[in-house]
Chain A
Amino acid sequence: MKTSQSVQVLGYLALLIVSALFMTPFVWLIRSSLMDLSQIFTMPPEWLPRPFQWGNFKKALTILPFGTYFLNTTIIVMGTLAGTVLTSTIAAFGFSRIQWKGRDLIFGILLSSMMLPAAVTLIPSFLGWQMLGFYDTYYPLIAPAFFGGGMFNIFLLRQFYLTIPRDFDEAAVVDGAGYFTIYFRIILPLSRSAVIVVALFTFLATWNDFMGPLIYLKSDSLFTLALGLQMFQGTYTAQWDLLMAASTAVVLPCVIVFLIGQRYFLEGITLTGLKG
Chain B
Amino acid sequence: MMVRGTKTISMLLAATLLAATVAGCTRPAADPSPPSGGENGDQEPITLRMSVWGAPDELAAYKVAIDRFEEEFTHITVDLQHIATDYDTKLTTMVAGNDVPDIAMMESGTIAFPLAEEGKFHNLQEFLDEDPNLSIDDLVPNLLYSLEPGHVIGIAPGPESFGLFYNEAMFADAGVEPPPSKASEAWTWDEFVEVAKQMTIDNQGRNAADPGFDPKNIKQYGINFPTWWGGYSNFIYSNGGDFVSADGETFALNQPEAVEVFQNIADLINVHHVSPSPVQSKNIPATNVALQTKKVAMVIDGQWASTSLAQSDFDYNVGVLPVMKDPMTTIVCGMFSMFKSTKYPQESWELIKYLIDPESSIDMITAGTWMPSYKSWYTEPELLARWTENLASRPSGYKDAIVEVLLSNSHQTPTGYVKNFSKIMDVVSPALDKVWLGQQSAQEALDAIADKAQVQVQGRRDIQQ
Contact = CB atoms under 8 A, between A and B. Distances in A.
A and B: bona fide binding partners:
yes
A63 B56 contact: yes
B237 to A, nearest CB: 21
A254 to B, nearest CB: 19
A256 interface: no
A90 B2 CA distance: 10
Given A38-B288, A215-B90, A235-B53, A124 B24 contact: yes
B55 A127 contact: no
B84 A227 contact: yes
B58 A234 contact: yes
Contacts of B59: 231
Nearest to B21: A124
A90 B24 CA distance: 35
Contact of B285 (A127, A128, A240): A240
Contacts of A48: none
A239 to B, nearest CB: 5
A237 B99 contact: no
A160 interface: no
Given A38-B311, A214-B83, A231-B82, A239 B21 contact: no
B69 to A, nearest CB: 19
B439 interface: no
A238 interface: yes
Contact of B20 (A38, A63, A122, A128): A128
B115 interface: no
B229 interface: no
Interface string B39-77: 000000000000001111111000000000000000000
Contacts of B92: 123
A141 to B, nearest CB: 15
Nearest to B367: A237
Nearest to A43: B293
B29 interface: no
Interface stretch (A20-28, A130-138, A149-157, A263-271): A130-138
A242 B55 CA distance: 10
A169 interface: no
B99 A135 contact: yes
Nearest to A216: B93
Contacts of B1: 86, 90
A99 B378 CA distance: 79
B463 to A, nearest CB: 29
Given A63-B56, A239-B56, A214 B311 contact: no
A86 B3 CA distance: 12
B96 interface: yes
Chain A contact residues, majority secondary structure: helix
Contacts of A43: 289, 293, 295
A107 interface: no
B20 A41 contact: no
A42 B92 CA distance: 39
Contacts of A232: 55-56, 84
B93 A122 contact: yes
A42 B304 CA distance: 20
B224 to A, nearest CB: 13
Contacts of B135: none
A126 B289 CA distance: 42
A42 B24 CA distance: 51
A174 B64 CA distance: 74
Contacts of B17: 128, 131-132
Interface string A77-102: 00000000010001000000000000
Given A124-B24, A242-B56, 17 more contacts: A37-B308, A38-B308, A43-B289, A43-B293, A63-B56, A124-B20, A131-B20, A146-B6, A230-B84, A230-B85, A232-B56, A234-B55, A235-B54, A237-B285, A237-B308, A238-B55, A239-B55
Interface of A: 36-38, 41-43, 63, 86, 90, 122-124, 126-128, 130-132, 135, 146-147, 210-211, 214-215, 218, 220, 227, 230-240, 242
5 contacts: A135-B97, A232-B55, A234-B53, A238-B55, A242-B56
Interface of B: 1, 6, 10, 13, 16-17, 19-21, 23-24, 53-59, 81-86, 89-90, 92-93, 96-97, 99, 107, 160, 283-286, 288-289, 292-293, 295, 302, 304, 307-308, 311-313, 334, 369
